[in-house]
Structure 1
Amino acid sequence: MPGTLLAADLQITDARIRLLPGDIPAAGYFTLTNTGETGTTLIGADSSAFDNVTIHQSVSQDGISSMQHVEQLTVAAGELVELAPGGYHLMLMKRKHPIAVGDEIEVTLLLDNGQQQNVKFRAGAPTTQ
């Protein structure tokens, strides 16, 4: 169907979570590739392992670095967006149970067209890039 994004048109690779000690929020990184003929927009995420998952962007302004909440992240047709340290990422807040390095955590990505994409993220150490 031209103009319709199918689940097969959206590829998620290198999904990983950087765990920090205690209840400090974790960061989720991955590459989102849209091989379809129309753009798609990531509008949120959810995980049974965390109370809250949101999209953030690291920004630097006047020499001061901060994180800002992002309502949505659009990936144009034929393009990719990398969620990585220093840029866009998922913030995974308030773990519901202990998570160890090496564990696989399922995260559901929510798209503006109503589709959901379940992704397995590998939990990594605080040095995970």
Structure 2
Amino acid sequence: MVSHLFKTPRLLAGGMLLMLITAGHASGQDVQVSNARLSLLPGEQPGAGYFQLHNTGDETAVLVGAQSEAFEDVEIHMSSDENGMAHMHAMEQVAVEAGERFEFAPKGHHLMFIGRKQALAEGEDVEVLLQFGDEQRLPVTFEVVSPAAL
């Protein structure tokens, strides 16, 4: 009897926490992420994150940032080639229209992972929190891959 008294409040608290987490990510659930890979170069060089966003919702989804405990900073970047010269610059956001897909791929849009805080090896997972303009957050697991795998 006594053990049931202690289990019930914990179960209720756990259920409430799950409801709060789910409610806080309702809009984020309209965005699906697939094929999330993190390409790491040797040493302290930055890494690049590639993935596909699919906006299954009825409104435009606007990616405004990302963060990961494994890196000091994560930025949205775009690579381009102008007159044979490679360029890369940071972007404030990427908008994905309702029903559309957007590809983060080599030589295009990507997440730049800066300031590695820990050693990472191919095959490991890195947790990344994508941040959207409507204050929603979407946790995504990126697999560490070799640049040659892309």
Judge same fold: TM > 0.5, yes or no. yes
Kindly provide the amino acid, as one letter, of the partner of residue 13 in structure 1. S
Please identify which structure carries the higher strand content: 1
Alignment partner of 1:52 is 2:73? yes
Q: 2:30, 2:102 → 1: CA distance?
A: 14
Number of aligned residues? 125
Which of 1 and 2 has greater Rg?
2
**1:127 Cα offset (Å):** 1.1
Quote how far apart the aligned CAs of 1:8 are: 2.2
Percent identity of paired positions between Structure 1 and Structure 2:
42
Partner amino acid, structure 2, of 1:25: P
- Provide the residue aligned with 1:82 in structure 2: 103
Give the corresponding residue for 2:60: 39
- Return the match for 1:107 from 124, 128, 149: 128
Instruction: Check the 8 A contact 1:59/1:65 in 2, yes or no.
Output: yes
Mapped to 1, the partners of 2:47 and 2:136 lie a distance apart of 25
Unpaired runs of at least 5, structure 2: 1-25
1:126 equivalent to 2:147? Answer yes
Structure 1 counterpart SS, 2:29 = helix
Partner of 2:21: none
Secondary structure of the equivalent of 1:127? helix
Structure 2: distance between partners of 1:35 and 1:109: 16
1:51-85 alpha-carbon deviations (Å, 9 max, x no partner):
01000000111221111111100000010100000
How far apart in 2 are the matches of 1:41 and 1:8? Answer: 13
1:63 aligns with 2:98: no
- Residue 25, structure 1, aligned to residue 46, structure 2: yes
Counterparts of 2:61 and 2:129, CA distance in 1: 15
1: CA distance, partners of 2:91 / 2:28: 23
Q: Aligned partners of 1:47, 1:90: CA distance in 2, in Å? A: 11
- Give the counterpart letter for 1:19 in structure 2: L
Separation in structure 2 between the aligned mates of residue 67 and residue 78 of structure 1, nearest angstrom: 28
Task: Give the unaligned 5+ runs of structure 1.
Answer: none
**CA distance, structure 2, for counterparts of residue 116 and residue 53 of structure 1:** 14
For normalisation by structure 2, the TM-score amounts to 0.81
